[in-house]
Structure 1
Amino acid sequence: MFNIGGWEFITLGLLALLIFGPEQLPKAAQQAGRMLRQLRRMADSAKNDIQEGLGPEFRDFDVQDLNPKRFVQKHFWESEDEEEAPARRATAQLNGRRPPFDDEAT
């Protein structure tokens, strides 16, 4: 989700040290860890409540499917027509490169 490199991590650590001080930093980290665990439990609980409330016909329902990007990807790009499948395989064999194009051929 986040792409934090080495320098960013060191900068965040120094900022936390300056803001909280060396005495309060371990307590603040412990509280942040507790808060993250509690948020994860709440999210898992909400997810389970939604799945139970939908009933057995939605047993394979995933909350991530509600994400608009995932919805479009699942419903438009995962199902291939038989006519498009050979063209996609040919494109995949080119390793993402465009096929050669001849201006005089058309």
Structure 2
Amino acid sequence: MFGLTFEKLLLIGVLAVFVLGPERLPHYASKFAQFIKQLKAMADGAKSRMREEMGPEFDDVDWKKLDPRQYDPRRIIREALTDEPETVAAPVVAPTIRESAYAQRQRLLREGRPAPFDDEAT
């Protein structure tokens, strides 16, 4: 949770003892406990309200499927670009690798031919 390990929590506790002092520490610890309880009550209230408003469909929702951490934008784009329509059965053809404009120009210069000229280029 937030990258907090037991050692880090222990260090925060030790720092709190030194900063707050032994007299004020119990008071602030109880306030922190109340805050955590209120936070949990708010989360439970939101969950029950959601269950109320959605009705029986709330239990049918697959929450793991809706987790945004599972989506990899690179994979989504790759799948969208490589997917072919299912209605058209395209023949299997080896993909042609297009040469970049820079590579084309370098190849032409190596061959002793002039580089292509684009009238519309600025």
CA distance in 2, matches of 1:60, 1:18: 50
Report the residue type matching 2:20 in the other structure.
F
Structure 1 residue runs of 4 or more that deviate by more than 6 Å after TM superposition: none
The answer to whether structure 1 residue 5 and structure 2 residue 1 are counterparts is no
Q: Distance in 2 between matches of 1:55 and 1:63?
A: 16
Deviations 1:74-105 (A, max 9, x none): xxxxxxxxxxxxxxxxxxxxxxxxxxxxxxxx
**Higher Rg of the two aligned structures:** 2
- Structure 1 pair 34–52 and aligned structure 2 pair: CA distance change class (3 A): same
Q: CA RMSD in A?
A: 2.5
Give the TM-score taking structure 1 as reference length.
0.54
Q: What residue number does 1:28 align with? A: 28
**Aligned residue in 1 for 2:38:** 38
AA aligned opposite 1:34: Q
Question: Where do 1:1-106 residues align within 5 Å?
Answer: 1=1, 2-6=3-7, 8-61=8-61, 66-69=66-69, 72=71
- 1:59 partner SS: helix
Q: Distance in 2 between matches of 1:62 and 1:24?
A: 46
Identity %: 37
Relative to its length, the structure with more helix (as a share) is 1
Which structure 1 segments of 5+ residues have no match? 73-106
Segments of structure 2 that go 5 or more residues without pairing to the other structure are 72-122
- In structure 2, relative to structure 1, the CA distance for the partners of 1:51 and 1:63 (3 Å cut) is farther
